[in-house]
Amino acid sequence: MGGFCRSTLLLACSIVACGPSPQEGAPTQFSLVPVARFGSVDGALALQRVMGLSLSPGRSRLYVSQWGVQSLLVLSREGDSISSIGRGGGGPGEFSGPTVTRPRWTGDTLWVADLDRTVVHFDSLGNFIDQRNLEVQPLGPYQLAPQIIAPLPDGMTLVQGSAGMMAVIQGRVTQLPFVRIGTNGEVIDTVATVSESGAFMSITWPNGSGSVGGN
C-alpha cells in the first residue's frame, strides 16, 4: 500500500512541477498558473473571462466583453464569431483601459465603456459615432474608479462603485454605491447601496428600505 501511494503522489506532482526531478527529501518547487477559459462546448470558440453580454435590439447579435480585451466580440445567434468592435489605443473608437465593461444599448446606439471611464458610442453596425471621458473620482476610500453601468434617458449615467479584491477581502470596503452622474462627471445622487457579508448581499435604497438575497 505504501508503494502505491508514493507512486500516485509522484505522478500527480509531475504535472505541475518545474525543473529537474527533486532528490529524495528535497522540497519540490511548483509553478501554478491559473487559467480560466470560456467558450463553446466543442472548444471551437475560446474566450477570456466574460465581463458582460448584450443582445442587439433585434436580438440577432450577441456582444461580448472579456477581461483584458480592448474590444467587443460580436457573435451570431448560432454562436459564430462575426467581427469585433473597437480596439486598444487613444484615438476615436479606441479604448485606453485594460478591458471594456458590459455593453449597453439606447435605441440603436451601442454604449461601450472601459475601466478608464472612456465611453464610446457605436451604431448598430459597429461604426464609430463619438466618445467622451467621464472624469468620475472614486466614490469612497479604498475604492477604484467607478464602473459605468448604463446610460439614463435624462442624459445622466448610472455608475457603480468598485474596489480591488484585496480591499474587499481585508474588509476595508463593505459597501459599494450606485450613483447617478451628470454629463460633466459630477455626482448627482446615490440610487442604492450594495453591502456584502459572507454569502449574503443586501441592497439599501435612499429611503431606508432594502432587500436581502443570496450572493
Whether the CA torsion 70, 74, 80, 83 is positive or negative: it is negative
Higher local confidence (pLDDT), 40 or 93: 93
> Rounded mean pLDDT of 158-171?
86
Confidence of residue 9 (pLDDT cuts 50, 70, 90): very low
Q: Which DSSP helix (H) or strand (E) runs through 147?
A: strand 143-151
**Mean pLDDT lowest among 5-9, 140-144, 147-151:** 5-9
Q: What is the pLDDT of residue 122?
A: 93
Model's pTM, two decimal places? 0.63
Q: How far apart are CA 74 and CA 173, in angstroms?
A: 35
In the predicted model, what is the mean pLDDT of residues 13-35? 54
State the Cα–Cα distance between residues 103 and 123, nearest whole angstrom.
12
The answer to whether 86 touches 96, Cβ cutoff 8 Å, is no
Question: Residue 188 has what pLDDT?
Answer: 92
Query: If you average pLDDT over each of 42-46, 107-111, 207-211, which comes out highest?
Result: 107-111
More confident call, 176 vs 33: 176
Closest CA to 114 of 92, 96, 87: 96
For residue 149, which of 89, 104, 118, 184 has the smallest C-alpha distance? 104
Distance CA 62, CA 78 (A): 10
How far does CA 199 lie from the centroid of its chain?
Answer: 20
DSSP string spanning 135-176? Answer: -PPPSSTTEEEEEEEEE-TTS-EEEEEEE-HHHHHTTS--EE
Mean pLDDT computed over 38-56: 80
pLDDT for res 33? 63
pLDDT averaged over every residue in the chain: 78
Q: What is the tens place of the pLDDT at every residue in 99-111? A: 888 888 888 889 8
Phi, psi of 11 (to 5 degrees): -65, -40
